[in-house]
Structure 1
Amino acid sequence: MKIIDAWAQPALGRVRQKLPEVARLFEKSGSAHLLDQSLDPAQTVALMDAAGVERLMLCAWCRPEGWLWTNDDVAEFIRAFPDRFTGVATVHLADPVAAVRELDRAVRVLGFKALRVVPWLWKLPPNDKLYYPLYVKCIELDIPFCTQVGHTGPLMPSETGRPVPYLDEVALTFPELRIVGGHIGHPWTDEMIGLAWKHDNVFIDTSAYLPRYYPPALIHFMKTYGQQKVLFGSNFPQLSLEKCVEQVRQLDLGTEVETSFLETNARRVFRL
């Protein structure tokens, strides 16, 4: 089976320095050794091979204070292994004109397949006016908008991650926009499931949670009326690829559901 990980970052050893809020999350997840460790593309592919993962959707990160790693940093991984990595762009949200131009460059020049903005970094929910030009550009470029939903593992306010009303309003305003809510949405998982059922173009990815901790409501959704709506994600390097894949196998999803979850849903949503 070909596995696509919908939410991952390159391990560049800059987390403790440039994203200190996340250091605690790595420590609680048993990944503290990766806070300062840098993995090059070949080392990352070796971990993917060990887990049986075909492709990582690798994302750049930017916060108000500046870039943690850029779209061009991610592009270096893609150039090294174009069949194993796919780029997910990010932008400096506070400069909307430059943000739209950078998104256009990342897609048209670098070949990226999505945009991701993490709301808690900006303390702005996804219905804020600064996002709206980006949504129009995503529709124009035919790429999904990926974002974080649910509480924040990092010690930052969680309000921006509420699916209702914020993401619901975006989906109502932009029905053509494909939206992927990453990190399940806990403790508002039922809200996120409700949005995925309500809106044809809203999806969920499971990143940042080991499969053994997926909420029962999400498992039921995946097995029944949400088979086309949930994408596998790890949040690598926070979580081990190998451990995530092993635990998916233990969920007894059945071949058809497991294939949709691990591969075909992401292939369809990201137009891979």
Structure 2
Amino acid sequence: MNLADLVAIDVHTHAEISKDGHGSLSPELFGASEAYFGSHGNRRPTIPEMAAYYRERRMAAVVFTVDAEHATGHPRISNEEIAESCAEHADVLIPFASVDPWKGRAGAREARRLVEEYGVRGFKFHPSIQGFAPNDPMAYPLYEVIEELGAIALFHTGQTGIGAGVPGGGGIRLKHSNPMLVDDVAVDFPQLRIILAHPSFPWQDEALAVATHKPYVYIDLSGWSPKYFPPQLVRYANTLLKDKVLFGSYYPVITPDRWLADFDRLEIKPEVRSKILKDNAAALLWRKA
């Protein structure tokens, strides 16, 4: 991957379908997400199609799925498949994985293997879908491995469109995605690099507080059009957190084309804009141990 040739690094994209057509979520949860984001009819791209999409735009993308087998009973897309597909398109794709924290030490062993044998750079957690509080000691063996190996832990924060409108929210509890729960993780694993994904509605101020206080906690801006960003997020991105805010789209639900068009109209300082779009992510993903 030639960083100099890239115009942006998208740190938040989802592999939604496997080679054999298996979806990352149940049809019910996919339908709720599509209704919430107004993305009815959007085709779910394969990983090679994602690579072509980002290559055409001279961008790189972090790719992952969500392993929530314990809470949902829905089989995940294989982490190995995602990592191998990303390796075939290493000029533009960066593999992350997802391991359900309910898998305990077996999950920790899997995480180690994925980093050491498949080159995985980080791990995606969705506490609301996976049905766990990030500060539950049950997940700590997994964090220990991620910290030890210098990988990244990316946590969904805030409300989620997945399950929205389904009776009972499809069993998804929003409280698990309060970024203050991740603050405990940052304390207990002080060298772990953490990304708080999304503007964290209704806990935006909590996310800003955690990222300001903890040196290795970052924020990605995925899942929202920038025109809806709360003013305090924009203010902190321009100032105190200018080195810790990352571009993320939420592709394929939100495309980088749409996100960047709205970001162009946001009042971001010129010297900060390049940090958000590429430089901060590059420094985090390719930092020296």
Aligned equivalent of 2:166:
none
Deviates more, 1:5-14 or 1:128-137: 5-14
1:1-272 to 2 correspondence within 5 Å?
2-12=7-17, 14-15=22-23, 18=26, 20-34=28-42, 37-49=43-55, 52-63=57-68, 64=70, 65-155=73-163, 156-164=172-180, 166-271=181-286
Q: Go from structure 1 to structure 2 and tell me whether the alpha carbon gap of 1:173 and 1:268 turns closer, same or farther (over 3 Å shift).
A: same
Q: 1:42 Cα deviation (Å)?
A: 3.9
Question: Number of residues paired by the alignment?
Answer: 268
CA distance in structure 1 between the aligned counterparts of 2:129 and 2:257, rounded to whole angstroms: 28
In 2, Cα distance between the equivalents of 1:101 and 1:85? 24
3-state secondary structure, aligned to 2:76: strand
Question: In the TM superposition, what whole-angstrom CA distance separates every residue of 1:106-147 from its partner, at most 9, and x where no partner exists?
Answer: 111111101111101222110012211111111110111111
Structure 1 stretches of at least 4 aligned residues deviating more than 3 Å after TM superposition: 13-17
The one-letter amino acid of 1:175's match is P
Gaps of 5+ in 1: none
Q: 1:95 to 1:43 in 2, by over 3 A?
A: closer
8 A contact 1:59–1:88 mirrored in 2? yes
Partner SS for 2:154:
strand
1-structure distance, mates of 2:182, 2:263: 27
Judge conservation of contact 1:48–1:241 (CA < 8 Å) in 2: no
Shift of 1:216: 0.9
How far apart in 2 are the matches of 1:15 and 1:41? 13
* Equivalent pair of 1:182/1:205 in contact (CA under 8 Å): yes
Secondary structure of 2:75's aligned partner: strand
Moved more, 72-81 or 99-108: 72-81
Secondary structure at 1:67 match in 2: coil
Structure 2 portions without partners, runs of 5+: 1-5, 164-171
The offset of 1:205, in angstroms, is 0.7
Range 67-76 or range 86-95, more displaced = 67-76
Q: In 1, are the aligned partners of 2:105 and 2:142 still within 8 Å (CA)?
A: no
| Farther-moved stretch of structure 1 (84-93 vs 193-202) | 84-93
In 2, Cα distance between equivalents of 1:167 and 1:254:
29
The CA deviation string for residues 15-69 of structure 1, in whole angstroms up to 9 with x for no partner, is 48626324222223232223xx34234422343245x351110013211125331
The aligned amino acid for 2:220 is D
SS of the residue 1:133 aligns to:
helix
8 Å CA contact 2:10–2:62 kept in 1: the answer is: yes
| Cα distance in structure 1, aligned partners of 2:25 and 2:238 | 41
TM-score, normalising length: structure 2: 0.86
Q: Percent identity?
A: 26
TM-superposed deviation, 1:204: 0.7
- Please tell me whether the aligned partners of residues 100 and 130 of structure 2 are also in contact (alpha carbons under 8 angstroms): no
Q: Deviations over 1:196-226 (max 9, x none)?
A: 0111011111111111111111100111111
AA partner of residue 53 (structure 2): L
Q: 1:149 to 1:212 in 2, by over 3 A?
A: same
Residues of 2 paired with 1:173 and 1:200: CA distance?
Answer: 13
